[in-house]
Amino acid sequence: MSRGGSGGRTRVRTARGRSAQSTRWLERQLNDPYVRKAKAEGYRSRAAYKLLELDERFGFLRGQKKIIDLGIAPGGWSQVVKRRTPAAAVVGIDLLPVDPIDGVTILQMDFMDDAAPDQLTEALGGAADLVLSDMAANTVGHQQTDHLRTMALVEAGLAFAIDVLRPGGAYVAKVFAGGADADLVAEMKRNFTTVKHAKPPASRKDSSEWYVIAQGFKGRAGAAEQVTDDADA
């Protein structure tokens, strides 16, 4: 490993057994200011700053008491939640094991498992104020396939949010380039008063990820009335 270039940029020599791609990834990590900041401030991943930046803009964490974190691993988002709203009850779920976080209940299971929604709701102890989702499907290298697989998770997260959120609640989810498709956005607008897309500064410029922020949940009865009104229009 060596330092060179402007600003003392760290360069990584290609080591035996390490591919050029792995070397580029390691070099990017070592030179990423968000990675360094996360390490200094005790966050488990740079993704914590994506949530912090989104919350600075949209204010969806303020005053929330019951929060669900879908795709919690490695835990950076729940760390942010507990620092911003220490009294909030937080339940997270992920296929991967996650080291304990004070004040957070963690379920290691597949969110797509039929039993997951009931277990999340039971662990939270009732309706949620906020559902966060940083879930993304494992990529296969085919852009359209990867997009469709991740959007299926966004749709599943939305269906769960509609079922578990209290009126006034919010749903924040990772999507990819182009954002949520038209049908999904329409479904969100039927159920929430505002739906916005945003790419926080902490999201790498070369990344296709965006986030959709749906706020002001109308409640299931309100959503049904909206559907009726649309049909009569």
Taking CA atoms, 38 is separated from 16, 22, 221, in Å, by 29, 21, 42
Six-digit token string for 228? 């009726």
CB within 8 A of 79, min separation 6: which ones?
A: 42, 43, 44, 48, 101
Helix (H, G, I), strand (E, B) or coil at 195: strand
**Count of residues for the chain?**
233
Asked whether the CA dihedral 102, 123, 69, 143 is positive or negative, the reply is positive
Q: Which of 50, 82, 174, 218 is catalytic?
A: 174
Cβ atoms of 170 and 57 closer than 8 Å = no
Residue ranges at the known binding site for S-adenosyl-L-methionine? 75, 77, 94, 110, 134
Report the C-alpha gap between 161 and 157 in whole angstroms. Answer: 6
Cβ atoms of 73 and 96 closer than 8 Å = yes
Asked whether the CA dihedral 41, 44, 46, 50 is positive or negative, the reply is negative
Catalytic status, residue 174:
yes
Q: Name the residues annotated as catalytic.
A: 174
